[in-house]
Amino acid sequence: MVRISLVSVLVTLTLASVTPVAMALPGLGDAMKGVMPGAEKSADADGATQLSAADAQDSIVTEFKEILRDVTFAQGALLTALGMKNQGDAAQADAKAMSGACDNKCIEEGIARSAELDKVIESAMSDADAMKAVSKEEAGKAIVPWLKAGLRTAQYIPKLGAWGKSATTEIKGAGLMGAAKMKKKFSQGLFIVSKAPGAAKKWFSTIKLAREVFKKNDISYEGANSFDF
């Protein structure tokens, strides 16, 4: 269990200013130091960075799918708060369906669905009438899912960067004949390395939008420091 403070989670919003290209670099983990201390500790704590890229790939892939599910669920909660219950319910149903086997096409479709939800939320936020209809009760319920999604994403990005660096080293070490085979072996992990940074940037932008919903409707953050995940 990780005890978090709201301040620590919201600090991660600064990641939205990092470009997808920069975030995809193998040295991303080092670049993150000092931005989200908890994220660096988490990456070391679960031992993922101590394993070979081959051994750690399943963990990297599984965790990304879980985070994508968490974000989609949180987007659904925010849509419900914005008065779009049908769309919110549909998003949360999509989130619950993200379990079991999920290949690169499945992951890409999930990312595209999340991006679509981002646009719907952004559009609703620009609608003055929609903002007046926000349910404080539902907005309050949306806080926890967004804290969870934001925290997990911030903790994951350094681990993904470390894995990408390890995979690159192992591919280079395989020599000319073995490199193609290694790239195929790491295909799903490398796919996520190419997709996750851009997706994370959009997610943090949506977290900013969520904060605006909370602020405009006087949703208190009091007590958020004691949430455990």
Q: Give 43-53 pLDDT, tens digit per residue.
A: 444 444 467 88
Q: What is the pLDDT of residues 69-81, one digit of tens each?
A: 999 999 999 899 8
Q: Which of 17, 108, 119 is nearest to 78 (CA)?
A: 119
Which range among 35-39, 71-75, 181-185, 205-209 shows the weakest confidence by mean pLDDT?
Answer: 35-39
Q: How confident is the model at residue 210 (pLDDT cuts 50, 70, 90)?
A: confident
Q: What is the pLDDT of residues 174-202, one digit of tens each?
A: 888 888 999 999 999 999 999 999 999 88
Check residues 137 and 57 and name the one with the higher pLDDT.
Answer: 57
Q: What local confidence, expressed as pLDDT, does residue 35 receive?
A: 30
Q: How confident is the model at residue 1 (pLDDT cuts 50, 70, 90)?
A: very low
Q: What local confidence, expressed as pLDDT, does residue 13 receive?
A: 38
Percent share of the chain, pLDDT over 70? 73
Q: What local confidence, expressed as pLDDT, does residue 58 receive?
A: 92
Q: How confident is the model at residue 20 (pLDDT cuts 50, 70, 90)?
A: very low
How many other β-carbons are positioned within 10 Å of the β-carbon of residue 79?
24
CA distances from 158 to 43, 92, 228 (A): 7, 27, 21
Q: How confident is the model at residue 12 (pLDDT cuts 50, 70, 90)?
A: very low
Across the chain, mean pLDDT equals: 75
Q: Is the pLDDT of residue 221 over 60?
A: no
Paired tokens of 27: 């040295």
Distance CA 134, CA 155 (A): 31
Distance CA 214, CA 219 (A): 5
Q: What local confidence, expressed as pLDDT, does residue 34 receive?
A: 32
Q: What local confidence, expressed as pLDDT, does residue 113 receive?
A: 94
> What are residue 91's phi and psi, to 5 degrees?
-65, -40
DSSP state letters, 74-129? HHHHHHHHTT-HHHHHHHHHHHHH--S---HHHHHHHHHHHHHHHHHHHHHHT-HH
Q: Is the pLDDT of residue 28 over 50?
A: no
